């Protein structure tokens, strides 16, 4: 049984699936902001970010670029770090549950907690990517 588990957990296909699943949220949001650029601008305005065009472009580049690094397993830690830092900034700038009226605070808290969980997943992916490369290289 242990050999089966080791084989599955050490497989390249499961490593790819894990990276794809982690990147889905960033890819979908980045592509949505790219395809519906006006909608992305409205989202930036709603968050009080100006100039909204610059923030929308920076968001698209961060989300799609970070996702590409995750998916390609190239400089994965850089992509994960950029996405994690982006999530942290969205908590501080947009989902400020501590500064919102009570009716808006709980939904913002839940989004912030989801972001924190994703940051943990990105850190875990960075660690796993590092160990995966070491195992493959025999070091």
How many CB atoms are located within 10 Å of the residue 43 CB? 19
Per the document, the length of the chain is 139
pLDDT value of position 139: 65
Query: For 72-116, what is each residue's pLDDT tens digit?
Result: 999 999 999 999 999 999 999 999 999 999 999 999 999 999 999
Domains contained in the chain, number: 1
Q: Cα angle vertex 60, ends 53, 87, to 5°?
A: 105
Region of poorest pLDDT, from 41-45, 54-58, 130-134? 130-134
Domain enclosing residue 109, as ranges: 2-137
- Measured distance CA(125)–CA(15) in Å, rounded: 9
Average pLDDT, the chain: 94
What predicted TM-score, i.e. pTM, was given to this entire model?
0.91
Give the mean pLDDT of 8-18: 91
């Amino acid at each position: 049984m242990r050999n089966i588990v080791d084989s599955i957990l050490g497989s390249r296909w499961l490593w790819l699936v894990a990276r794809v699943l982690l990147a889905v949220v960033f890819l979908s949001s980045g592509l949505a902001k790219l395809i519906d650029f006006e909608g992305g601008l409205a989202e930036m305005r709603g968050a009080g970010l100006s100039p909204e065009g610059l923030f929308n472009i920076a968001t698209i580049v961060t989300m799609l670029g970070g996702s590409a690094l995750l998916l390609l397993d190239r400089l994965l830690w850089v992509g994960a770090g950029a996405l994690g830092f982006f999530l942290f900034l969205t908590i501080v700038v947009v989902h400020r549950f501590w500064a919102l009226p009570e009716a808006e605070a709980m939904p913002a808290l839940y989004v912030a907690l989801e972001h924190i969980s994703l940051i943990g997943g990105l850190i875990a992916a960075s660690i796993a990517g590092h160990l995966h490369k070491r195992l493959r290289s025999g070091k």
